Structure 1
Amino acid sequence: MQAVAYARLRRASAPERAGLDGAVLAALAEEAEGLAGDWAPGVVVVAGRGQYVALEHAAGWALRYSAWDPEAGRGVELPAERRLPMRTDTVFDLASLTKLYTAIAVLQQQERGTLDLDSPVAAYRDSATPPPADGSAAARGATLRHLLTHTSGLRPELPLYDLPPQRRRGRVRDEAPLEQPGTAPYRYSDLNLLLVQDVLTSVTSRTLDALVADGITRPLGLADTCFRPPRGLRRRIAATEDQRLPWAKADRGLLHGAVHDENAHALGGVAGHAGLFACACDLAVVCRTLLSGGAYGSARILAPSSVAQLLAPPGLGFQVDQPWFMGELAGPLSGGRAAGHTGFTGTSVVLDPETDTFLVVLANTVHPVRRGPDSAPRARLGTLLARAVRS
């Protein structure tokens, strides 16, 4: 793991300056153009290597529709003057990329000695939290490592949005795993990160948004990364879904600047699994920070040993060596070390310690309505970046 810190990312005067093939990067930008309007109304791609951002490209629309027409099976288009074009600084609902920031916050607390990845999460219950229910993940010995590697045995999600507010957190804490934590197969679950959030709150007496702001976004200067974005930022935010029953889980109308995930919304917009908003350049700084061993300029948010724990297979919060969304950035080129994540709203990030490359893909695939998962476009973009790498 590299330990070199750069004062800031620089924009390469030419892709070759970053050790990347310009013709292949041009093909990557052309591929992104083709995705806008097909895979999503709009797309932003940022790619780089080392200290250089070699490609920033925006295509399509951040806001194109006012609603979804279920009878016609298409979106209701806004007049041209009311649409918002996609820009490289457009802010997106990151969805499950939030999990990466929650995982970083855990490793920061481990460095401070306030928690241990392999201690039972039940050990971190504060005086205001009831004891874990019999049969719950905590009562059955689940650890933070089980939660961050999705081996707790918990189901993928619960309909917290259907419960009274005072019951939502307790419902997650009381949920029984389907298998014994630690022996369970990998099962991706939002509930894992909600329990991680509870542990962080218990050991710090602080909310997750405060921990992320003080531990990550403020030191790194990420001005556009936040939970619950202010209304003044709305014209730079990519719209998501026209949430209505029966295709969504709630009736909220067109979402533009409000978190898409129904459970994150039910929990006040701040959740361990979803809720963060950010632009692509802010995500590129996070990639550069991790590729530099946890430091960016004069700011250090993690020790190199903590970064190594985050990114070592199978990854803590991060997913490692996943060709289905990384393309050829995974596999032999990276020596199986490429790490990243996807988000339901159309977001993804990949960083490869072996080639020192990173790829941020942000799209509003759920605007104006959700559709079946399709990560093939992400994988194609990852493959093009991999093919652009020069030795």
Structure 2
Amino acid sequence: MPSLEQSCGCGGSRELSAPRLRGDTPERAGLDPEEIRQLVREVRDLTTGSRPWAAGAVLIVGRGPYLAVEEAVGWAVRYASYDEEKDAGVELPPERQVPMTASTPFDLASLTKLFTSVAAVQQIERGTLGIDARVGAYLPDFHAAARHDVTVRQLLTHTSGLRPELPLYDCRDDAERLDRLRAEPPVGVPGTYCYSDLNLLLLQHVLERITGRTLDVLIHDGITRPLGMTSTHFGPCPGAAATEDQRRPWAKADRGMLRGVVHDENAWALGGVAGHAGLFATGRDLAVFCRALLSGGGYGPARILGPDFVELLLSAPGLGFAVDQPWFMGELAGRGAAGHTGFTGTSLVLDPVTDTFVVLLANAVHPRRRAPDSRPRASAGTRVARAVRG
């Protein structure tokens, strides 16, 4: 039986410590070993052939306190550049290629949104942020959002009506970028879903305004440090898996082959710390994040949210999290599974009903981006759903 330990950040009350992850077999975790072996084979196949889905990948599957799968395949760095004429990557000499390992950090891309959302719900729990409050109450200088009565809930559920993005990377300086955000009005019907990076950028400004702290500090102090996620932080991250030979016309900036600096052009223009992108993390750290949420907000003696607020975060339609989306969750969708994807090839899904999670991290834009393809993510979710026993 777990020992009684002091809860961190929940009013000083004593409660049972949440179990930590420990490596074990799929059988011990209540997962069918043959389905898991097939899943590992399929992920390995994603990194082989002349035109792989990704140069490399890390797969992690857990159920309850058991970390049943932790597999690294392929390459963290395989290509020096992209040859536009041949439509193929230019491979590095073998001695300069870097194998993928379980401890390789990845550019999380839009998985960053999940951490920004947790940071927001922490402020809701503390009473410093109202979920249905108007953004203008906190950011009166963001005139367009204030004039259109955009709310915090709308930012968290992508129902503000804001367009998907702005070309902030083309602005001359930070002052112009800020002016554009302040002046950007909704273009859609408020209350109608439209996925937008701008929602999380505005939420970042709200959080920084009400706390007096920058987003990187809020996420470190409120999430990653208490959970012991020592490999999760905003860049630079020199040992990360490489992403893209970023050049126009397929990209929005000419930056060359990227490794250890944020891939997203707007996050890069904003200095690498942004509400929608910029975090780097390992698969193991994300497993801890998933385990904490599945445990009602606690991990070991640490607690980042109370159970009621975790439920608020994960319940449909989800605050920051997407809920029951078969296009990337496969057969895990349909009973309250929550998760997200990232443009670089990252994803995570957690299923509260079966106490199961799957993390699939890949450098799918190495050596260059292509049309998004989430079928491998959905297939992984289906394998895990079919593996669950009882």
Q: What's the TM-score, normalizing by structure 2?
A: 0.93
Could you say what secondary structure the match of 1:379 adopts? helix
CA offset at residue 4 of structure 1? 7.0
Asked if structure 2 preserves the Cα contact closer than 8 Å seen for 1:44 and 1:58, the reply is yes
Is 137-146 or 370-379 further displaced after alignment? 137-146
Question: Which whole-Å deviations, capped at 9, do the CAs of 1:308-339 have from their partners, x for residues lacking one?
Answer: 011010000000000000000112xxx2x000
Question: C-alpha separation between the residues in 1 aligned to 2:142 and 2:102?
Answer: 45
Question: Which whole-Å deviations, capped at 9, do the CAs of 1:134-183 have from their partners, x for residues lacking one?
Answer: xx23321111100110000011001000012211122122111113433x
Asked if structure 2 preserves the Cα contact closer than 8 Å seen for 1:138 and 1:173, the reply is no
User: Residue 78 of structure 1 corresponds to which residue in structure 2?
Assistant: 92
User: Residue 138 of structure 1 corresponds to which residue in structure 2?
Assistant: 146
Question: Which whole-Å deviations, capped at 9, do the CAs of 1:46-87 have from their partners, x for residues lacking one?
Answer: 001000010111110000001011011111100011010011
User: Residue 150 of structure 1 corresponds to which residue in structure 2?
Assistant: 158
Could you say what secondary structure the match of 1:390 adopts? coil
Partner of residue 39 from structure 1, selected from 41, 46, 53: 53
CA offset at residue 5 of structure 1? 4.7
The percentage of counterpart residues that share the same residue type is 63
Question: C-alpha separation between the residues in 2 aligned to 1:80 and 1:246?
Answer: 29
**4+ residue runs over 4 A deviation:** none
Q: Which amino acid aligns with 1:151?
A: T
User: Residue 159 of structure 1 corresponds to which residue in structure 2?
Assistant: 167
Sort the Cα spacing of 1:4 and 1:307 in 2 relative to 1 into closer, same or farther, 3 A: farther
User: Residue 41 of structure 2 corresponds to which residue in structure 1?
Assistant: 30
Q: Which amino acid aligns with 2:87?
A: G
Could you say what secondary structure the match of 1:169 adopts? helix
Sort the Cα spacing of 1:263 and 1:192 in 2 relative to 1 into closer, same or farther, 3 A: same
Asked if structure 2 preserves the Cα contact closer than 8 Å seen for 1:137 and 1:181, the reply is no
Q: Which amino acid aligns with 1:169?
A: L
- In the alignment, does 2:186 pair up with 1:186? no
User: Residue 269 of structure 1 corresponds to which residue in structure 2?
Assistant: 272
- In the alignment, does 2:351 pair up with 1:348? no
Q: Which amino acid aligns with 1:209?
A: D
| Superposition RMSD in Å | 1.2
User: Residue 308 of structure 1 corresponds to which residue in structure 2?
Assistant: 311
Asked if structure 2 preserves the Cα contact closer than 8 Å seen for 1:5 and 1:289, the reply is no
For structure 1, which runs of at least 5 residues remain unmatched after alignment?
none
User: Residue 108 of structure 1 corresponds to which residue in structure 2?
Assistant: 122
For structure 2, which runs of at least 5 residues remain unmatched after alignment?
1-14
Question: Which whole-Å deviations, capped at 9, do the CAs of 1:195-246 have from their partners, x for residues lacking one?
Answer: 000000110111000000000010001111000135xxx23x1000001111
User: Residue 118 of structure 1 corresponds to which residue in structure 2?
Assistant: 132
User: Residue 9 of structure 2 corresponds to which residue in structure 1?
Assistant: none
Q: Which amino acid aligns with 2:130?
A: D
Asked if structure 2 preserves the Cα contact closer than 8 Å seen for 1:244 and 1:251, the reply is yes
Question: C-alpha separation between the residues in 1 aligned to 2:385 and 2:250?
Answer: 37
Aligned residues: 372
Question: C-alpha separation between the residues in 2 aligned to 1:272 and 1:313?
Answer: 21
User: Residue 4 of structure 2 corresponds to which residue in structure 1?
Assistant: none
